[in-house]
Amino acid sequence: DAGVIQSPRHEVTEMGQEVTLRCKPISGHNSLFWYRQTMMRGLELLIYFNNNVPIDDSGMPEDRFSAKMPNASFSTLKIQPSEPRDSAVYFCASSLDWGERKLFFGSGTQLSVL
Amino acid sequence: GDSVTQMEGPVTLSEEAFLTINCTYTATGYPSLFWYVQYPGEGLQLLLKATKADDKGSNKGFEATYRKETTSFHLEKGSVQVSDSAVYFCALSDQQEDDKIIFGKGTRLHILP
């Protein structure tokens, strides 16, 4: 298996633009997680899905952020409009099921909002 | 809420030195504990875990023992290599907090040849 695949690896955009980050989890994994990593705040859980259903989005910073999982093999995290303080590395991770605590992470998307 | 505190880095050691990275936690329930490692340019990967008190997790020469009495899960390795240079994250998962995995801020480790 190729592992968790995220795209793009790097994204540079201007303030106010819409940004869409993409994730393909490992085939057969039922849980998917979006994390944000910054120097100041470390690794923060934004939202997670189980069987394509959002379970907890309390970590989403504000309404500018939204996430979807239309099927078991694809998820998106969208920021609209983007702001400079959104600059971070965004990671997607998946696990076999909700009870499995072993997460497999993608390589992340480095987002820079100018 | 639950939290994880780990020693701030960076930690710089010479090859073959002994490594300890401290980690303590606070939890509402009885959590499972983990160490994840992040190599440059990659996502995190699970290094080892322990699910109950006095359990020792081990992998690739690294060890950590679940100490309930001191709420700690310190990471150790007897002889580090240059290839161990990475960022190490302590984490917990607590059923009382919906099993969400909560990570510490990470400790960057530099190993000098």
Q: Could you give the CA distance from residue B53 to residue B71 in angstroms, rounded to a whole number?
A: 10
What pLDDT score does A2 carry?
Answer: 78
Q: Could you give the CA distance from residue B108 to residue B94 in angstroms, rounded to a whole number?
A: 25
Indicate which of A101, A107, A109 best probes the interface with B, i.e. most B CBs within 10 Å of its own CB. Answer: A101
What pLDDT score does A99 carry?
Answer: 65
A7 touches chain B (CB under 8 A): no
Taking 70 as the pLDDT cut, the residues of chain B under it are 97-98
pLDDT per position as a tens digit, A56-96:
898 898 899 999 999 999 999 999 999 999 999 999 999 98
CA-based angle B61:B41:A2, to the nearest 5? 85
Residues in chain A: 114
pLDDT averaged over chain A?
92
What pLDDT score does B55 carry?
Answer: 95
B57 touches chain A (CB under 8 A): no
Specify burial of residue A31 (Cβ count, 10 A radius: 0-12, 13-18, 19+).
buried
Q: Which residue has the higher pLDDT, A109 or A62?
A: A109
Q: Could you give the CA distance from residue B21 to residue B11 in angstroms, rounded to a whole number?
A: 9
Asked whether the beta carbons of residue B100 and residue A106 sit closer than 8 angstroms, the reply is no
3-state secondary structure of B95: helix
Strand partners, A23: A6, A75
What would the two tokens of residue B62 be? 């690294």
pLDDT per position as a tens digit, A17-52:
999 999 999 999 999 999 999 988 889 999 999 999
Asked whether the beta carbons of residue A105 and residue B45 sit closer than 8 angstroms, the reply is yes
